[in-house]
Amino acid sequence: MTIGIFDSGLGGLTVAKAVMAALPREKIIYFGDTARTPYGNKPPETVAGYALQNAKFLLKKKAQMIVVGCNTASAVSGLALRKEFPSVPIFEVITPAVREALRRTHNGRIGVIGTRTTVQSGAYQKWCRGINARECPLFVPLVEAGRLVHPTTYEVAEQYLAPFQRAQVDTLILGCTHYPWLKGVIADIVGNRVQLVDSAETVAREVQQFITPPASPYLKGRNDQSDSPLKVRGVRGVMSAPKHEFYVSKKTPKFQELAEKWLGMSINLKAARL
């Protein structure tokens, strides 16, 4: 199955990487809306319009399902996307992350960090009453600029995360798919007593379960050989790994550099017109 993933820029690549690891047989078509990034400081109706355009682009490229690899777009466009494309499987990143946080927490004190539009939408708060949500508007620009481990990034992160430490939060949702790029910085500051929930990883598991449902326990042990992520065995023998496609609305050298570093592979980055 061809999986379409979109985001405002680099963030959705965390979702793409997680999906590649979970489903090495499936092709991914990725679109980063770099010409209009960031989404997190824009009005909800504007972001919802962008999401519809992005999904249409991916479907024209023959995507068979859509993963909204952006928490802001997930918060404000989920219903609109499902109404516009009723026959297309659509996954968003918020619900899986909340489920995982509720499963992990020991003291019931859950925090979430996200963009301004995501936090103000109440998308996380409606799932868990009393969830501690905070806006972190500078994280996305820092990631897009490649300042992943930088004194300024640490200084900003300390200011954003201090309230969670005072509130004794034990589980923190990274409520933007850009934020896993800063997971090391965030973990350094909050310490190992706080569990980090990566929304990219949680949505990847849901997509995996949709495409390859768990096998019947009666079949367990009959075929325990796992497929290689580079070559997989099909009906007619060995198939080559899928040829993923990567598009952006505006090409930048920094995107190419960071994308290849994050994914651990060379990519043929193409500019796209919506």
Q: Which two tokens stand for residue 157?
A: 């992160």
Say how many CA atoms lie within 13 Å of 109 toward its Cβ. Answer: 11
Instruction: Give me the pLDDT at residue 239, please.
Output: 57
Please state the rounded mean pLDDT for residues 10-14.
95
Task: Tell me which of 97 and 215 has the higher pLDDT.
Answer: 97
H/E segment holding residue 210: helix 199-211
Mean pLDDT of the chain: 90
Residue 156 Cα distances to 116, 160, 171, 182, angstroms: 15, 6, 20, 12
Q: Which two tokens stand for residue 211?
A: 């495409």
Q: How confident is the model at residue 273 (pLDDT cuts 50, 70, 90)?
A: confident
Which tens digit of pLDDT belongs to each residue from 41-87? 999 999 999 999 999 999 999 999 999 999 999 999 999 999 999 99
Q: Which two tokens stand for residue 144?
A: 């897009």
CA dihedral 21, 175, 206, 256 (to 10 degrees): -30
Q: Would you name the residues annotated as active-site residues?
A: 70, 176
Instruction: Give me the pLDDT at residue 224, please.
Output: 40
Q: Which two tokens stand for residue 31?
A: 């679109």
What's the rounded Cα separation, in Å, for the pair 271 and 274?
Answer: 10
Q: Which two tokens stand for residue 45?
A: 């109706």
What residues contact 67, with CB distance under 8 A and at least 6 apart?
Answer: 3, 4, 5, 6, 15, 19, 90, 91, 92, 93, 203, 207
Instruction: Give me the pLDDT at residue 233, please.
Output: 44
Instruction: Give me the pLDDT at residue 126, please.
Output: 86
Q: Which residue segments constitute the domains of the chain, with CATH numbers given?
A: 2-93+202-213+231-271 (3.40.50.1860), 95-199 (3.40.50.1860)
Which tens digit of pLDDT belongs to each residue from 203-262? 999 999 999 877 655 544 434 433 433 344 444 445 578 999 999 999 987 899 999 999
Mark out the alpha helices in 61-144 (DSSP H runs): 71-84, 94-104, 116-121, 139-144
Q: Which two tokens stand for residue 67?
A: 């993963």
pTM (2 d.p.): 0.87
